Structures are given as C-alpha cells and as structure tokens.
Amino acid sequence: MSGGMEDTLELGLETFGDVTRGPDGRSLSQAQVIRHVVEEAVLADEVGVDFFGVGEHHRDDFAIASPETVLATIAGRTSRILLGSAVTVLSSDDPVRVFQRFSALDALSSGRAEIILGRGSFTESFPLFGYSLNDYERLFEEKLDLFAALLEADRARAPVTWRGTVRAPLEGQRVYPPTERGRLKTWIGVGGSPQSVVRAARYGMPLMLAIIGGDPRRFLPFVQLYHQSLAERAAAPLPVGVHSHGYVAESDGEAREELWPAWRAVRDRIGAERGWGPVSRAQFEQEVEMGSLYVGAPETVARRIVATTRVLGVSRFDIKYSAGPLGHDRLMRSIELFGREVIPRVRRLLETA
C-alpha cells in the first residue's frame, strides 16, 4: 500500500443512468431517468459526497449518452462536488471535442470537472459512430496519445502538434477554450489489463480500477505495477482509485433484499449478451460478503470500504449506486445514507486506525 493515500480519501458515487421503474412497475422514459440523475447528483452534493460520475452508453437500458451535457446541468445546481465521466469512451470519440466539452464543463463548474477515459465494456458506440472493432486497440492508443498532448498543450498554454493514423494531424494548432487553471484531471479507467496499467503510468495519468467482480485484493498487483512503472520513469506518485458497485439501506438484510432482484436483472441481461449463465443468489451473497459489492447498513459498507482502501492504498473510492430497475426513491435514500452516514464512518475509521 502506498503510504498516506487513505488520509486524503475521496468518496464518490457513479451512475450509468440505468433505466429504472416507477411505482407502477413500468420502465420510465430515458428522459425522466436523466432528470432523476440530476436530482440524485444535487442530493449527493448536499450530503457531502466528494465526486459524482456519469457513464456514457448508447443502448436502451442506460439513459446517458452525453455525460458532459448532464454534468453541465448538474454543475449549475451544485456548488462543491467534483463532476466527471465514468467513463468517456475515447476510442469512438474525437479527443479534441472531448477536451473542448470538458474544458467548458470545467468553466461552468468553476474547476470541478474530471474525466475518466476508457475503452468501455460495451461496444455499441463503434458502429454508431462508424468505427471498426478491428481497430479497437489502435483507436484507443492513438487517441489517448492525442489527448495527452492536448492536456500538455493546455498546461503550457501552447499550440498542439500531433500525428497519427486515426484522424487528421494537428500542426501547431490552439484548442479552445483552454481550462482556467491549465489543469483538467484525467484518469485512465482499467479493468484488469497489465498493459493498460503501464499505459496509464506512461502518460502520467491517475489510475481508476474497475473492480466489478471478485475479491478486491486480487488487484493489488496492478497497484504495485502502476507505482513501479511510475518510479521507473522517475515520475511523482499519482492517485489510484476504485470503481465498484454498492447499495446502502438501514440494515444489511434490507439492503440485500432490495438490491438482489435488480442486480440479478442487470447481470442476467448483460450475461445473456455475452454468453454467461444465469447468476445465482449464492454468487450474489459471495460478492456482498467478500467481493465487489459494497452492500448493507452504513456501518457494514463503511468497514468494507475502509478494508479495500487499506489493502490497495487508494485515494478515491467510487460506488456505482444505481442498479438496473431499482427505483429512484430507493436510490435517493441510498445516496443520503452514503453521504450522511457512510462517509463520516469511513473518515472516523481511518482516523482511528
């Protein structure tokens, strides 16, 4: 574990704008879900959550295809919470436009914008925007290289020059608007590939680990590899974060019973697309007990977060609080418990360690 990271631990919430069900059991419109996400972010700001992230997807079970648009609306109704994507699918977007949209968000939020760049676990954006999955690796590598050049040009207040094979070159061009402070915090989202970990270190970007299955301790070698790769480049230590799933209720039993049917619905729907078999209740319980689901009463969730942050030495821990059809009212209650009860407990546990 890298020493001292937990002293400045940030605690965040993320959502993909999962299409939820209303009181009548029917799926809500994507438009209503987006409006609910804004309300959820406003509540997260009020109760002391450090970061609010929204994911980018292009399918009927997730409502958010344009994170920056949703985040800009949230920026106008919040005052302190950090705002970012979770993730931005850079491979099927234009890095210059991504930078411009987030620099505008940074202006609107008075410096609260962040980006988590990734390849995404879904591929619908590739055919939608005219990209071939045969170019999956090359698209991300080259576009990340360009984005890194844009960040450096913004920091130096200088033109950018770049050449690659996936888009037209840039020759001494300025990109506007620049960020106000010359800094746009940009994470690299990684799902478990050593090559991706080394790449994040190579570009000097913080590492966000997507831990969505299994014991979080199995990711310790990736954290160690990241710090080793930074050290080999004589680079200063950089933050490591964790993205996992979770849900908070008044009691452990209540949290499990409320989350299980929604979590199963999401897992089996995606599993059917990817050739997985149906998930069992025993698998769910295993993930809750010692895996990637942070589910339960505030004390239970707080202790599990602290255990993971101590093992991995992370400085950011984000929970995806939405779960398929799980209703807006329950999500709002979970957010309130997370902010008012989980976060203070985590802070106390870390202080008394």
pLDDT one-digit tens code per residue, 116-161: 999 978 999 999 999 999 999 999 999 999 999 999 999 999 999 9
Cα distance between residue 254 and residue 258, in whole Å: 6
* Domain CATH number, residue 56: 3.20.20.30
Question: Whole domain around residue 39: which residue ranges?
Answer: 5-351
Residue 2 has what pLDDT? 41
Burial of 347 (0-12, 13-18, 19+ CB in 10 A): middle
Give me 104's structure tokens.
Answer: 């505008």
Give me 117's structure tokens.
Answer: 């760049």
CA distances from 64 to 57, 264, 344 (A): 6, 21, 30
pLDDT in tens, 299-324: 999 999 999 999 999 999 999 999 99
Residue 268 has what pLDDT? 96
State the pTM of this model: 0.96
Count of the separate structural domains present in the chain:
1
Residue 273 has what pLDDT? 94
Residue 192 has what pLDDT? 80
Q: Stretch 323-339: mean pLDDT, rounded?
A: 98
246 DSSP β-pair partners: 294
Least Cα distance to 246 among 198, 302, 197 occurs for: 302
Residue 121 has what pLDDT? 82
Please, what's the b/e burial string for 212-233 (b: 16 or more CB within 10 A of its CB; e: otherwise)?
Answer: bbeebeebeebbeebbebbeee
Q: Are 318 and 53 in contact (CB under 8 A)?
A: yes
Name the DSSP letter for residue 204. Answer: T
Give 7's pLDDT tier (boundaries 50, 70, 90): low
Q: Which residue has the tokens 């608007």?
A: 177
Q: Which residue has the tokens 């050593």?
A: 194
